[in-house]
């Protein structure tokens, strides 16, 4: 077959408007020619501006907007970029294909659903629906979940989803993330097969299908692949460092003909490996595309020179990376401060007091953030802010004491201090196998019917009247209560007892992030050591839950709240002031991260992300002493990320109490 090349007509573009809005490196990327392009966009270097102006430039050149594919990680980001494109270009951006991978995948799958065994009227399952269907599949297959603690829907979902998105076997995922469930490999594989059968039978897809079936369409149906390779003359992807194996393969296939693929990201901000992000996608891009042009955006518009010097010095220790040096535009400011604190109480007091001082210097609270590696590291700080009446907003999830696993464990302690606490009874007893709402009510009525002190021996008489599975769960619950009531009312020891009394195993079956939740509870036990009695501990938790920081009345609008966030949640955001707390080896970098292949470099990238959130003031906080969940006194070493950088890049603050 003879091939005839139809040349694209390119209109001359007036670059004056582009030159006024872009620096030379940005302009070079925006106006680059055809072919593959990798844009390494350092923190605060204007990557969104580059990808937006690139789309505008292509349209101004005469590219039909409907032949441009712009993939982002939120639909909101795509809408905002395309709105800005409309303002910049003379052309019409409404026909650009823009959105998340899942959004684009759904649009394509609707058109070709019959090729993968569906109709185009399929229903998309949300996470909760998918979890429930997995539980139905367990029932369909008659799998016994009573002899051993079998993984619940959330965990099954995580195992199967990770296998799909990382393109790994279920056996590999189990070995890597859930070694205690390897004995159930055959059952989990059977559930996965049954789950797929049910979805196709009922014309259903889940979020993973929107990607995996899209990839299947492209790989198994050459006519579909050829159609979209021709339709999308230019493919652009934002936040490329966060793409997973399937997403990376889809982009490569779509660009496999014309090779007009521009990916924008920062390898130094690749911090989502735990979600399946494949770091090799960005790091090995030039191996897959040897002729790719690499554009480095190294001008930082966010941070002062002092903040950037520290961030640059840290990330320099990573070997596997594209080397770049961020250059500041902002004028000089204060050096980052390394604050050495006696313990976590002093750390919390320092953050609270310094935040109020900076507020007096006209920096609003909502322009300050406290960042941490893991959510449990904010326990003491939340308490201190509440005591001082400083309003705060948590961006890393629920307040620590409002999380389900914390409330679960506290429910047992509430029973120990008040045996007639109905809500605590019903919450705690339902955590045991076979006990649902009806059985919990039956058990509570037996408790409520007792006069005087709680008689656990009398409650045993209820067991024969329960179903066989509920009977075993109730007996397990009673054994735990007997152990708790036999203890002195020391909250830390009681939390340990609850964890040993099957709750640790419950976490493993119920939550994909069971390890971090267990760490939360171990730290809660450590926190409880400072209270002389169970009643004092529960009173503190209750007051913290009732008189929250957000209830404090200020003269200013309610949105002036100090931000508390994990570093992962803070990616892409910025504040004038950043407090980075718990800079302790084993906590940050985390012990788990240090055990994983490539973990140290990912932890260092996380430190880089944290420090580059600060525009002007950066406080690195290091407690010197702590206590672990076994109540051992610890001497805490400053994070190796601090030791790695020269001490002339920060100012040392010694904090002391009056």
Give the active site residues: 47-48, 238-239, 269, 613
The DSSP bridge partners found for residue 562 are 392
**DSSP element (H, E) containing 544:** helix 534-546
Structure tokens at 361: 């210097």
In DSSP notation, 357-407 reads HHHHTT--GGGEEEEESSGGGGHHHHHHHHHHT--EEESSSS-GGGSHHHH
Structure tokens at 114: 């019959």
Q: What letters, b where the CB count within 10 A reaches 16 and e where it falls short, cover 635-649?
A: ebebbbbbeebeeeb
Structure tokens at 541: 């938790």
Rounded CA separation 523/24 (Å): 50
Structure tokens at 503: 């709750």
Contacts made by residues 218-223, CB under 8 angstroms, sequence distance 24+: 218/250, 218/253, 218/254, 219/253, 220/115, 221/112, 221/115
646: helix, coil or strand? Answer: coil
Rounded CA separation 171/175 (Å): 6
Rounded CA separation 49/31 (Å): 13
Rounded CA separation 181/184 (Å): 5
Structure tokens at 35: 């072919």
Under a CB-based contact definition with an 8 Å cutoff, are residues 600 and 591 in contact? Answer: no
Sign of the Cα pseudo-torsion (108, 109, 115, 120, in order): negative
Q: What are phi and psi of 168, to 5 degrees?
A: -125, 160
In DSSP notation, 240-287 reads GGG--HHHHHHHHHHTTTT--EEEEE-GGG---GGGT--THHHHTHHH
617: helix, coil or strand? Answer: strand
Please give the torsion angle defined by the CA atoms of residues 121, 122, 123 and 127, in that order, rounded to the nearest 10 degrees: -150
Sign of the Cα pseudo-torsion (437, 438, 439, 442, in order): positive
The neighbour count for residue 394, using CB atoms within 10 Å, is: 23
Max CA-CA distance within the chain?
Answer: 95
Burial degree of 527 (CB within 10 A; 0-12, 13-18, 19+)? buried
Under a CB-based contact definition with an 8 Å cutoff, are residues 88 and 44 in contact? Answer: no
**DSSP element (H, E) containing 465:** none
Rounded CA separation 560/552 (Å): 11
């Amino acid at each position: 077959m003879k091939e005839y090349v139809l040349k694209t007509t390119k209109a001359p573009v007036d670059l004056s408007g582009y030159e006024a809005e872009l620096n030379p490196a940005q302009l070079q990327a925006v106006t680059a020619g055809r072919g593959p392009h990798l844009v390494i966009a350092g923190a605060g270097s204007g990557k969104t501006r580059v990808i937006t102006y690139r789309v505008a430039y292509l349209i101004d050149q005469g590219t039909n907007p409907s032949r441009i594919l712009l993939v982002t990680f939120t639909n909101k980001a795509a809408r905002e970029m395309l709105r800005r494109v409309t303002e910049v270009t003379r052309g019409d951006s409404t026909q650009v294909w823009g959105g998340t991978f899942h959004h684009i995948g759904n649009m394509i799958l609707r058109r070709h659903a019959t090729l993968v065994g569906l109709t185009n009227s399929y229903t998309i399952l949300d996470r909760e629906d998918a979890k429930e269907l997995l539980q139905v599949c367990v029932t369909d297959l008659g799998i016994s979940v009573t002899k051993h603690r079998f993984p619940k829907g959330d965990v099954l979902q995580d195992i199967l989803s990770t296998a799909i998105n990382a393109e790994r076997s279920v056996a590999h995922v189990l070995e890597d993330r859930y070694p205690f469930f390897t004995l159930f490999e055959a059952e989990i594989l059977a559930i996965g097969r049954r789950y797929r059968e049910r979805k196709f039978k009922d014309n259903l897809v889940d979020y993973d299908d929107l990607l995996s079936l899209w990839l299947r369409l492209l790989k198994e149906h050459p006519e579909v692949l050829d159609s979209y390779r021709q339709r999308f003359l230019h493919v652009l992807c934002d936040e490329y460092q966060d793409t997973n194996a399937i997403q990376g393969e889809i982009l490569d296939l779509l660009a496999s003909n014309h090779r007009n693929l521009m990916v924008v990201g920062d390898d130094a901000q690749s911090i989502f490996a735990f979600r399946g992000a494949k770091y090799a996608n960005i790091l090995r891009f030039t191996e897959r595309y040897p002729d790719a042009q690499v554009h480095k955006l190294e001008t930082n518009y966010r941070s002062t020179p002092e903040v950037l010097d520290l961030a640059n010095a840290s990330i320099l220790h990573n070997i596997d990376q594209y080397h770049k040096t961020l250059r500041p535009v902002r004028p000089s400011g204060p050096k980052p401060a390394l604050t050495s604190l006696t313990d976590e109480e002093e750390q919390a007091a320092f953050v609270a007091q310094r935040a109020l001082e900076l507020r007096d210097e006209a920096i609003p609270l909502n322009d300050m953030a406290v960042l941490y590696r893991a959510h449990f590291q904010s326990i003491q700080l939340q308490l201190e802010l509440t005591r001082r009446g400083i309003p705060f907003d948590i961006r890393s999830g629920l307040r620590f004491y409002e999380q389900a696993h914390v409330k679960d464990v506290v429910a047992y302690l509430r029973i120990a201090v008040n045996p007639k606490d109905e809500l605590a009874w019903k919450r705690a007893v339902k955590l045991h196998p076979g006990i649902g709402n009806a059985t919990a009510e039956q058990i509570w009525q037996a408790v409520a019917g007792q006069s005087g002190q709680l008689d656990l021996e009398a409650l045993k008489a209820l067991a024969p009247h329960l179903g066989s599975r509920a009977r075993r769960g109730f007996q397990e619950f009673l054994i735990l209560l007997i152990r708790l009531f036999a203890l002195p009312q020391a909250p830390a020891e009681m939390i340990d007892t609850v964890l040993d009394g099957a709750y640790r195993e419950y976490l493993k079956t119920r939550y994909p992030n069971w390890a971090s939740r267990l760490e939360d509870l171990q730290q809660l036990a450590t926190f409880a050591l400072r209270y002389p009695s169970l009643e004092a501990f529960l009173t503190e938790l209750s007051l913290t839950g009732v008189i929250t920081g957000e209830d404090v009345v200020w003269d200013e609008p309610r949105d002036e709240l100090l931000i508390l966030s994990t570093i992962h949640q803070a990616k892409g955001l910025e504040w004038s002031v950043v407090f980075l707390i718990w800079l302790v080896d084993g906590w940050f970098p985390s012990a788990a991260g240090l055990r994983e292949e490539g973990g140290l470099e990912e932890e260092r990238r996380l430190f880089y992300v944290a420090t580059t959130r600060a525009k002007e003031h950066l406080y690195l906080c290091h407690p010197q002493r702590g206590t672990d969940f076994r109540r051992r006194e610890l001497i805490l070493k400053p994070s190796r990320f601090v030791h790695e950088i020269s001490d002339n890049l920060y100012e040392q603050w010694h904090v002391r109490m009056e």
